[in-house]
Structure 1
């Protein structure tokens, strides 16, 4: 294409929409799976309809949250710079932590790593900050337990495991994160002992065949499972169970419970007990209509219950939100199409086929790498319960082999979570 042709093509593109003599500004807070999905989709729409998209994230590196257990076991992940993932999209990337949100002024204060602070204005804000482990409810968890909240916290556990290779690791929480972490650590550190502690059997939200498989796999990996126990306190030398028994451990990994990051609550938005933004069926804040939330940052209620924080549900919310980001149309809009997701397959009952989500190519390369565990997010909702499970390396063996169950009649899916 010649320079003249390029100039002509650029001239035919619609310019930015001006709202009160300024460009319509969409700001997405958080560049995880859902934030990237929302920002990339919004950018494509603004290229046609006008406007500008800004993506704010504390790190310029894309964090593969589903792979934090691999870092914790001592593995290194590929470096995936966010600027590379959004190259050519027209998105402005701002590296910094969203410190304050002022809904009255429609501004966000962002603090960079060097302490410099800047203020970004918005017409529409999207909160996609994810969640962190709840280390507040149980005494001692915040001081003595490791978490998988970030690459930094996961790397701290890896350092401890390297320093005490023969020590015992107590993994608290028998959900999918705890199961996968226990399996990965046991596989990578066969000289130590891994104890998985939970109120229920591993994978309590899964079907009976899946739970049986997990039990056999964990036994094969040497993971000692203690179900039906509650942790009352985390100590420097292990955990204390309700009733007073102490389980000695060189390291404690906390994977049970979660809470949303506090930005929304501190800004005065309506939030639920976990700090998630209470949204309507178009993911718009019920208290502040110019703010939206996706993924773990949103309390998304469906007819069958509140969406659980997994990529299976989170990525579709980002994909949905990207279709709603647009500057105000010239004429009054019609009623927005509400978000509707099927119950989590393999959780509320036998699996059910949902709507696949196919991320953009560069994002897909980041979140859907090849590996023994398969592509966890490819065709979300199509392969259950495997689609619920993050990809991994050796320790993912505890979760391999799960196969889709027969597709049920609609009435069989609508049971309790």
Structure 2
């Protein structure tokens, strides 16, 4: 029996699990196990909407995997032994593997800046988002400070300002919002923030204290990964992400594939930044590679190029910047209702796609899911 273990059921991990299940459904002698801390699939792309008080679909991982070759195990991963091929869970269970897909993702970095862990909300999980929503719902007036001017910060600030017009929303970050967009797209984004009454300040936050001046503080500035990979003896980069070869295998432990935010995937002279746009293709590629290895073939190199940067500006507005494969901006961009339609189309729930991959895994060899992906 060949044991394939997938840790994490986010965008990348669930892509790997469903695609691999589809590819191996007629193969005997393979056991496929998916481990996740929750039985609910978290659509992280929509957590800013949930945090502002919007509804969200209930997506059950066990429901998706029922009747498939995937055995779902709910549990917290507390230890990985890459040499022995074992994974320890918080309740004492130990799972073994011959092939491992490490997809434990990332969380908000609440440790690098003093005061963040004690005073700030985050959007790491559905529970975190609902906790923030409950706090905002109880406020008739006050100030919300969103720390971090990246895409998550911009989207969260816009959603909160639109949903809670009685509140004053500040957006603080080291860079100006939309700094990577073309001038036209950036002007549109700033005009939307002005329309929503969001007060933008450019500053580096070195400590979270009373000087920030918010009744509610939301932290979206930076991410970190679990220390489990480094503790397991896997080669990691300076941010703790597993360093992979061109096929997404760990450079130190080839039976371990790393995907999504937890992987340091190099493409040319750059390392992919963690997004759904790149994470889902890494999961699919890991599935393809493991299937090839089981057939006695060598895995192929992973190739990926970015295609766009979609930014929602509340429920009825958005800007979409089209990009070159290296993530640098092209001249073309969309704004307004066309941008909303485009973003909702490409960023819609991947749930139907996971179901389709169980039946038609080969479709994901070309399907981009918001990025350019070729074998």
Same fold (TM over 0.5): yes
How far did residue 45 of structure 1 move? 2.0
Match of 1:307 among 272, 277, 284: 272
Q: Is the strand fraction higher in 1 or 2?
A: 2
| 1:24/1:327 contact within 8 Å kept | no
- Separation in 1 of the partners of 2:160 and 2:131? 14
Q: Establish whether residue 273 from structure 1 lines up as the match of residue 238 from structure 2.
A: yes
Q: How many aligned positions are there?
A: 330
Q: What are the residue-to-residue correspondences of 1:257-406 with 2, within 5 Å? A: 257-326=222-291, 328-329=293-294, 331=296, 333-334=297-298, 336-343=299-306, 345=308, 346=323, 347-350=327-330, 361=352, 363=354, 379-381=369-371
For residue 232 of structure 1, give the secondary structure of its aligned residue in structure 2. coil
Unaligned runs of 5+ in 2: 309-322, 333-345, 357-366
How far did residue 75 of structure 1 move? 2.3
Q: Equivalent residue for 1:25?
A: 3
Q: What are the residue-to-residue correspondences of 1:17-416 with 2, within 5 Å? A: 23-50=1-28, 51-111=30-90, 116-227=91-202, 229-235=203-209, 237=210, 246-326=211-291, 328-329=293-294, 331=296, 333-334=297-298, 336-343=299-306, 345=308, 346=323, 347-350=327-330, 361=352, 363=354, 379-381=369-371
Report the CA distance shift for 1:340/1:223 in structure 2 as closer, same or farther (over 3 A).
same
- Separation in 2 of the partners of 1:48 and 1:360? 23
- Separation in 2 of the partners of 1:83 and 1:165? 39
| 1:46/1:52 contact within 8 Å kept | no
Report the CA distance shift for 1:357/1:66 in structure 2 as closer, same or farther (over 3 A).
closer
After superposition, what is the alpha-carbon deviation per residue over 1:254-295, rounded to whole angstroms, capped at 9, x for unaligned?
101111122212212111121111101111001111111101
For residue 212 of structure 2, give the secondary structure of its aligned residue in structure 1. strand
- Separation in 1 of the partners of 2:353 and 2:277? 19
For residue 288 of structure 1, give the secondary structure of its aligned residue in structure 2. coil
Report the CA distance shift for 1:231/1:328 in structure 2 as closer, same or farther (over 3 A).
closer
Moved more, 171-180 or 144-153: 144-153
For residue 69 of structure 2, give the secondary structure of its aligned residue in structure 1. coil
Q: Equivalent residue for 2:361?
A: none
Unaligned runs of 5+ in 1: 1-22, 238-245, 366-376, 383-417
| 1:49/1:327 contact within 8 Å kept | no
Point out the structure with max Rg over C-alpha. 1
How far did residue 159 of structure 1 move? 2.4
Moved more, 184-193 or 164-173: 164-173
For residue 70 of structure 1, give the secondary structure of its aligned residue in structure 2. helix
TM-score, with length taken from structure 1: 0.74
TM-score, with length taken from structure 2: 0.82
How far did residue 213 of structure 1 move? 1.4
Report the CA distance shift for 1:26/1:282 in structure 2 as closer, same or farther (over 3 A).
same
